[in-house]
Chains A and B, each alone.
Chain A
Amino acid sequence: MLYKNELIQSFLSGDMRALARTVSMVEAGDLQSLQLLAAFAREGKRARLIGITGPPGAGKSTLAAKLAESLLDRGERVALLLIDPSSPFTGGAILGDRIRMHAIAGRSGLYIRSLGSRGSLGGLSRAVPPIVQLLENFGFDAIILETVGTGQAETDVIETVDSVVVVTVPGLGDDVQAMKAGIIEIADVFVVNKADREGAERTARQMEEALKLGPSDVPVLTTIATTGVGVPALISSLDAHYQTMLADGELAKRRERRLRKALHAYAASLVSVRLAEWVEEQLTGHWADIESGRVDIYSCGRRLAEEFQKGR
């Protein structure tokens, strides 16, 4: 295990290459590799997690880059996780968001990682929490997570952050209607990007109307990510949201919810692997009954689950 010890040492000494390797190991979904996290534990150190989501073409990654730039400028260490969809057929993906990181590429205190939504065995929603924890342990002050806001997996991912920025652009028409329901529940800040396009004001007003139906006040901002217009206001808004959450205990609540969820998922996955193996072993004796129709799979499943628990 010399290699592993070396990796831990390098990680703790702040070597980005070691970080990149461990992210891969965790992403690969080997549950054992999560034990590495114990070696990296750091008390007290917490990163601020910002999620950016929205439809394709909304300018999320450009906005993420601008946000990162502002945070870097004020001395924070920033990690960016850029998530792109993978092909459901081949599992392959083109991860092209990095192309938009040109303005910040090469800056110190910055780590950029592209992830395919189906690249990890356990699914993205299972891989992201430990990756986020790795980044937190590595010492980043802010972690920005960017993903397309479609699909349950992506929504799950977005729920693992402290503040959610939902981005849209003018001219998506009915998509805005379709977005509303989901947005009201997850958005902390709403952004109409590409505000130099026709219809930006109208989109902003529509969203304000829609968001009024929600439980809390969600600010609606306009930005032009390519030029940085509106980005300072977005930062202030995020800062304000963070301070409010810190003060009223919402932040602690969100973190607890997130950690509990990840803990549950991890514990369940450990059991489920063992359970699956055990069920397969037992089945050899039962399969004839199932095949002939004497016993249905549900009765068999219930009995096996009871036996498994007794054996604990």
Chain B
Amino acid sequence: MSQRSFIRVLVAKPGLDGHDRGAKIVARALRDAGMEVIYTGLRQTPEQIVEAALQEDVDVVALSCLSGAHNYLFPKVVELLRQQGGADILVLGGGVIPEEDIPALKQSGVKEIFTPGTTTQAIVEFIRAHAIQK
């Protein structure tokens, strides 16, 4: 099987949160690190995110949420991905996420959670180390 020479990432804003500064900075940083980034804008439902991820055949789905709805939205995306044949896609989360929520989010299948103060370099390196490239 052939392998892509680059990593494809869907950067998505689930829920109603309009704070996209972080998502946009991450998208640019991933682009500058040589990745292909699909950005779908604000107010995406988990269903829309999963559809885009599967149609675009991405390696990574990076979710950003600052509204506190992460405990509902992130696991929902993972669950739908698994149901629809996207279990191999690496799911990451970022935002204002309290430390105590992180174990349960990881348990649900989100591979890593990036909290305020994370460098974009750390995110790039994590993706390079963990994405299963297609």
Contacts and interface: CB of A to CB of B under 8 A. Distances in A.
Q: Find out whether A and B make contact in their complex, taking CB atoms under 8 A apart as touching.
A: yes
Interface of A: 3-4, 16-17, 20-21, 23-25, 27-30, 32-33, 86-87, 90-96, 98-99, 102, 105-106, 111-114, 116, 119, 121
Contacts of A3: 1
A305 B48 CA distance: 54
21 contacts: A4-B1, A24-B134, A28-B4, A30-B2, A87-B31, A87-B32, A92-B33, A92-B34, A92-B35, A94-B28, A94-B37, A95-B37, A95-B38, A96-B38, A96-B39, A99-B40, A105-B52, A106-B48, A111-B55, A112-B56, A119-B6
Contacts of B47: 106
B17 interface: no
Contact of A25 (B1, B6, B52): B1
A119 B54 contact: no
A-B interface, 6 closest residue pairs, ranked by CB to CB distance from nearest: A30-B2, A20-B57, A92-B31, A99-B41, A90-B34, A28-B2
Interface in B1-16: 1-6
Given A92-B36, A94-B27, A17 B2 contact: no
B84 interface: yes
Contact of A91 (B6, B40, B51): B6
B52 A90 contact: no
Nearest to B52: A98
Contact of B33 (A17, A90, A114): A90
B105 interface: no
A99 B6 contact: no
A88 to B, nearest CB: 12
B54 A17 contact: yes
Contacts of B39: 94-96, 98-99
Contacts of B65: none
A20 B56 CA distance: 6
Interface in B52-105: 52, 54-57, 84-86
Contact of B30 (A17, A20, A92): A92
A205 to B, nearest CB: 36
Nearest to A1: B1
Nearest to A18: B85
A269 B37 CA distance: 29
Contacts of B31: 87, 90, 92-94
Interface of B: 1-6, 27-28, 30-41, 47-48, 51-52, 54-57, 84-86, 134
A138 B85 CA distance: 19
Nearest to B86: A17
Nearest to B2: A30
B44 to A, nearest CB: 9
Contact of B36 (A17, A95, A99): A95
B4 A105 contact: no
A147 B95 CA distance: 34
A95 B89 CA distance: 19
A29 B2 contact: yes
Contacts of B33: 90, 92
Contacts of A93: 31, 36-37
A32 B2 contact: yes
A116 B6 CA distance: 11
Contact of B85 (A17, A32, A90, A95): A17
A98 B34 contact: no
B40 A16 contact: no
Nearest to A95: B38
A27 B36 contact: no
A112 B9 CA distance: 15
Contact of B55 (A16, A25, A27): A16
Contacts of A17: 54, 84-86
Contacts of A116: 6, 36
Contacts of A24: 4, 57, 134
A103 to B, nearest CB: 12
